[in-house]
Amino acid sequence: MEAAVGNQATLAWSRMETQFPAELASTMAGTSAASRITRIDPNRRSLSVLPQIETDVSGQVRLVHDPRDRYRSLGVVGEGGMGVVERAEDVDIGRPVAIKRLLPEASHPLGVARFVGEVRIVGALEHPNVVPIHDVGLDAEGRYFFVMKYVEGQTLGEVIDKLRRGDPETHLQWPFERRAEIVISVLRALAYAHERGIVHRDIKPDNIMIGRFGEVWLMDWGIAKKMDEPDPGVPTERGEDRTAGLIGTPAYMSPEQVRCEPLDARSDLYSVAVVLHEFIGLNHYLHHRTDNLAVLLDAIENEHPVLRGPGAYDSPHQGPPPIELQIVAARGLAKDPAHRYQSAAEMLAGVRGYLEGRGEVRCMYSFTKRAMRESGRVIDRYPRLGVAMYFGLIVLALVGLAALFKLLLG
């Protein structure tokens, strides 16, 4: 995605003070700038509890109790509108962890409410494709933080960038089958979350992490919410300013998310379809519209680009993606939620159908591929029938050739 899009795309709670000045003013009335930050007694901060173990020259073991901050920061690895993410060491257990701290400028009541919401939502999602939370606490300055598993690897956005540049090794490592498996992992996480009434609302390549050993995590649940609960401070209808109240990354939003309408699971599935289209085709489905935010938002709502077949995918570094995956992406990108997949499980079955040779039939090409694979299964099950069919085709070919020669020789 172009730099201009990156600068415009992520609209989150860093814009709270400009979008909702009245709400913030009412919640902070009568407070000084310093006291606007939610502070707790630093004596309640998270301290280590396990003793240090020392052994003297005689072999005697001594326990040294030296309470200190349990988490030692090793540097910042990322920053968003609400918080900063650091790599750290858990000095009690001796393992690397990631810590997300609430920024001082986001420590007003609305910011804290969203931070607490993220902690509780992620804490409730015990799933292999969701990074687990280990702990919550307060630092020496009284700021909230939570501790999660430290993930080593690369984002899907980084993988797509390498594929887009035509890196030979990356293309070798990422055949379409493996790309489909990544999308299946994301859909598994969403199926689990949706079953619990939670929508992610910010699915994009940069929020999908791929570990060193192929693990897949759907990251950054900072703007996730319960489907049946209102979003504090966010308008339920779009005003004259189309960007006011947008929560998420516009390039990956569904039409209903752009319109600030109530969202259900199908909005997340639209975002997954955007990611799938980009992952297999190496271009955003609206790549010709992404350098202007207003134009992009209008295109998401109203434009119907070619999503499968000739003209839909034109990367110079790879051939056309499998038609089965093109069909899944096209259905997921339907403007009307009623025409999309209705659940993550249904979309997952569509992607898995490609891997199992049972893809959805929507055109002559997909019908031909499906028919050939099904005939192969029949031959595997009934080998003698396969041999008979093989010789039958040879006989038919010979008869056809004989008839042709007879016709030509008059």
Max intra-chain CA distance, the chain: 110
Strands annotated E in 166-275: 198-199, 208-211, 216-218, 225-226
How many other CB atoms are there within 10 angstroms of residue 191's CB atom?
18
Alpha-carbon gap, residue 41 to 39, rounded angstroms: 7
Going by the DSSP 8-state scheme, the letter that residue 47 receives in this structure is B
Collapsed DSSP state (helix, strand, coil) of residue 62: strand
Angstrom distance (rounded) from CA 91 to CA 87 = 13
Fill in the amino acid letter for 192: Y
Residue with tokens 């008839």: 403
Q: What beta strand segments (E) does 17-149 contain?
A: 52-55, 61-64, 71-79, 83-90, 95-102, 133-138, 144-149
For residues 143 and 140, what is the distance between their CA atoms, to the nearest angstrom? 7
Residue indicated by tokens 């992607």: 351
Please tell me whether residue 218 adopts helix, strand or coil conformation: strand
Token look-up 């899907």 returns 156
Specify the DSSP class assigned to residue 342.
S
Which residue among 202, 206, 220, 231 is the active-site one? Answer: 202
The answer to whether 162 is annotated as binding is: no
What's the rounded Cα separation, in Å, for the pair 63 and 29? 51
- Spatial CB neighbours of 59, under 8 Å, sequence gap ≥ 6: none
DSSP-derived pairing of the beta strands 83-90 and 71-79:
antiparallel
Residue with tokens 């040779």: 357
41 counts as catalytic: no
Strands 144-149 vs 198-199: parallel, antiparallel or unpaired: unpaired
214 backbone φψ class: left, alpha, beta (φ>0; ψ -120 to 50): left
Q: What are phi and psi of 96, to 5 degrees?
A: -75, 145
From the annotation, which residues make up the binding site?
100
Point out the residues that are catalytic.
202
From the annotation, which residues make up the binding site for ATP?
100
